[in-house]
Structure 1
Amino acid sequence: KAGASVCHVDASQGMVKWARENATLNGLEDCPIRWIVDDVMKFLKREIRRGRRYDGILFDPPSFGRGTKGEVFKIERDIRELLSACKALLSESPLFFACSNHTSSITPKVLEHLLEEILPGKVEAGELFLKGERDIPTGSYARWQP
């Protein structure tokens, strides 16, 4: 609300619809949000070609997916390419990059090392939990700052 604009990308029309509903519930329906239904890698490459830059990126890739032409996405195989494309889209003075992950083989330490490898700066990583009587691990996160 303080002047930022947002671009939300998801390959699933249903997820974009849900995100729009959440924006409305949070009073953000009139904010500058671009809603894009597209394969994220295709979107990232297109944005790089167009010379677009972003001051911050929130990144929540799926563990697995299939494209409209049968392409297979596997986070373990494709995460470096995705992170490199995201790095190419960061502005000259980026503010943050935050990533969540729900694939058990990509631990917080793995995610931390991947970000450190691609983005020099400060990285903090940890586990995501569903809080309760007994916390249930649901994935990991990493935050980068210059």
Structure 2
Amino acid sequence: MADDEYTEDQKELINLVKETSYNSLELINEILEATNISSIELNPEPVEINSLVNNSVELLRFKASEKGQKIFYEPLGAPLEILISREKIWRVISNLISNAIKFSPTGAPIFVKLVKEKDEVVISVLDNGIGIPEKLKDQIFNMFTTYMCALI
């Protein structure tokens, strides 16, 4: 089919599948490289943050709807390109939203919000889940903890 034969919804879904496939491939490569931690690079690139977070939200809406949950997304007021490692940030955002869905009660709302504060962009995910145990909070970004493995 030619591009003009797809509806806008179909084009959007194709783009979401393409980006998810790309991010999944990057994750596989990182897992393969994880035994040699010094070889892992961040590969920062300019990324429009509203679009990146929106893609994560849209991909997980179906999962939330299975539990009767709704995801409310509040992007920045204007598009903003920032220099980040696209696949790593996408994975963190997707893990946060997935865990919000998983650990929140049926029907509970989930809020994803972006806020620009000076030279930073703050991404927050607010849910009604059980939260991260206090003793594990300082370990959640360590790739080799059992809690992080559960997130991935």
Tell me if both proteins adopt one fold, taking TM over 0.5 as the criterion: no
Radius of gyration: which is bigger? 2
